[in-house]
Structure 1
Amino acid sequence: EDSDYSTLAGFILYKLSEIPSAGDSLEAEGYRFEIIDMDKSKIDKVLITKVAEAVAGEKTEN
């Protein structure tokens, strides 16, 4: 995948294709990125949590 980012904020903007709001989130690369705080149009704080992988045979919801 071609990418043009070198910061976490750049990665998030690349994945979302828009400026997020506090409370927005996305899942990528096995992690969940939740925007905690914005400073106008700048991403200020992000909570990153590892997404639990589904156990073999376990149902997942979409």
Structure 2
Amino acid sequence: MVEKKKNTSGRGMRDLQVRVKSAKGRKLSSTLWLKRQLNDPYVARATKEGYRGRAAFKIMELDDKFRFL
């Protein structure tokens, strides 16, 4: 049996965009940051894998290169 790919566009998780409602009292810069944060594939992956933030992937990459942990 051949497995079918669920997403054949090749763009991964970037197909779905989270839309942020601007709240009263929230500045434009905060709204833009929140939009970037919610649409960041590394943030979503970190949450899914149980890490606190996207920096965990950079730390793992540096550890693979320099073996400091």
Interval containing the TM-score (normalised by the shorter chain): under 0.3
Q: What is the TM-score normalised by the length of structure 1?
A: 0.26
Higher helix share: 2
If the length of structure 2 is used for normalisation, what is the TM-score? 0.25
Which structure's CA Rg is the greater one? 2
